[in-house]
Amino acid sequence: MSNSKQAVPDTLPLLRDRIDSIDSQIQMLINERARCAQKVAEVKLAEQGGEAVVFYRPEREAQVLRRVMERNEGPLGNEEMAKIFRQVMSSCLALEKPMRIAFLGPEGTFTQQAALKHFGKSIISAPMAAIDEVFREVESGAANYGVVPVENSTEGVVNHTLDSFRDSRLKICGEVEERIHHHLLVSPNINSEDVTHIYSHQQSLAQCRAWLDRYWPHVERVAVSSNAEAARLAAEAGRSGRAIAAIAGEVACELYGLTKVSANIEDRPDNTTRFLIVGNQEVPQSGKDKTSLLISAKNEPGALYRLLEAFERHGVDMTRLETRPSLMSRWGYIFYIDFVGHYLDDECRAVIDELRERASEVKVLGSYPVAVL
């Protein structure tokens, strides 16, 4: 292979010749990489044989992406370079085994956007109508993994997702964060002044509440099952001349051919949603992991204090605490706790052992690599 740091020529024809020659080398190397991934699949099949073979390895993918970012010298930025490798791995994995990914649909949701960011584009998309359907699809084996929203920086937790973990045996295999921009959309034939209703998912309505109060105080807000569904309904209404607007993102806007009345209307400019990847596998340590726990506490004085004290004593960094009603007993609670580290790390294991002595139930929902992209 030629020296990668040769002097850059300075005429257009020579520059294009150089780019052509670099492209053919990159292409050859990508295919060489793909042949290695195919071989990896053969080895996995031979080694794991009878059991369901695990092709997707989140911890390995996170390590590959982190290394890409660490060794990157530019001029392309670290994230840009990692996105390219994200897609290369996605194509390689699809050669090993195409992954069917269930997500909160329909097509065009932010959850789909998150799925593509996490797995790359070489996946089979399986949009589901509700969060519990995503869980069921993965539990039944119809989909390999699922993607669900879990919390938003403006609006807080997605209760449906947390509640789904109560009765599910699925594990969290990963997380992904997505900046969320909302737009007010109408069908192109509709005059925005005629709008009578604004449709969106309740989370999106809440994330734009101050903006709506200010500019659309007298228009009725209607919560529907997703913002992509809101966009679909706005497009359908437009066809029969009814003036319904939707709040949704870029993907839904394009998918349903809508026009933007106002862009980036979210109340907080740093509005971000965190999504979880759920699957049937426990993920080994990647070197930079997080763990999520579900804990049922005994209903007695100091119960929460005794749980939290264990984290402090072992120096484990808790990143999130949510409380939900237990449903089993009135005024009983379930806590959802996220912390930095893998459940196999010594100090994390010590914390979990102590929590088990102090709580009536401790369920490890999963340890997974901290989001890279």
Ligand X SMILES: C=C(O[C@@H]1C=C(C(=O)O)C=C[C@H]1O)C(=O)O
User: Which is closer to ligand X, CB of 85 or CB of 256?
Assistant: 85
Give min distance, CB of 341 to ligand X, in A.
22
Give min distance, CB of 235 to ligand X, in A.
37
How are beta strands 99-104 and 145-152 bridged, if at all?
Answer: parallel
Using only the alpha carbons of the chain, give its radius of gyration. Answer: 24
Give min distance, CB of 50 to ligand X, in A.
19
Residue 97, token pair as written in the block: 């085994």
Give min distance, CB of 146 to ligand X, in A.
17
User: Which is closer to ligand X, CB of 105 or CB of 279?
Assistant: 279
Task: Count Cβ atoms below 10 Å from residue 61 Cβ, excluding itself.
Answer: 22
DSSP category for residue 192: G
Q: Which residues of 247-273 are buried (b: 16+ CB within 10 A; e: fewer)?
A: bbbebbbebbebeebbeebbbeeebeb
Specify the amino acid at residue 210.
A
User: Which is closer to ligand X, CB of 91 or CB of 262?
Assistant: 91
User: Which is closer to ligand X, CB of 96 or CB of 266?
Assistant: 96
| Residue 320 φ then ψ, to 5° | -160, 140
Q: Which helix (H) or strand (E) segment is 145 a member of?
A: strand 145-152
Give min distance, CB of 267 to ligand X, in A.
38
Residue closest to ligand X (Cβ): 92
Specify the amino acid at residue 258.
L
Residues whose CB is less than 8 angstroms from the CB of residue 368 and which lie 6 or more positions away in sequence, other chains included: 58, 172, 173, 174, 175, 277, 283, 289, 290, 291
User: Which is closer to ligand X, CB of 7 or CB of 52?
Assistant: 52
Q: Is residue 251 a contact partner of residue 182, using CB atoms and an 8 Å limit?
A: no
Closest listed residue to residue 120, CA positions, set 163, 67, 169, 174 = 174
User: Which is closer to ligand X, CB of 56 or CB of 216?
Assistant: 56
Give min distance, CB of 173 to ligand X, in A.
11
Give min distance, CB of 91 to ligand X, in A.
8
| Residue 75 φ then ψ, to 5° | -75, -15
Specify the amino acid at residue 268.
R
Please report how the helices 58-71 and 78-96 are oriented relative to each other, as an axis angle in degrees rounded to 10: 150
Give min distance, CB of 274 to ligand X, in A.
22
Give min distance, CB of 83 to ligand X, in A.
15
How far apart are alpha carbons 175 and 369 in whole angstroms? 7
Q: ∠ CA 333-338-340 to the nearest 5 degrees?
A: 155
User: Which is closer to ligand X, CB of 95 or CB of 222?
Assistant: 95
User: Which is closer to ligand X, CB of 63 or CB of 262?
Assistant: 63
DSSP category for residue 278: E
Contact residues: ligand X, CB under 6 A: 37, 40, 56-57, 60-61, 64, 89, 92-93, 96
User: Which is closer to ligand X, CB of 60 or CB of 181?
Assistant: 60
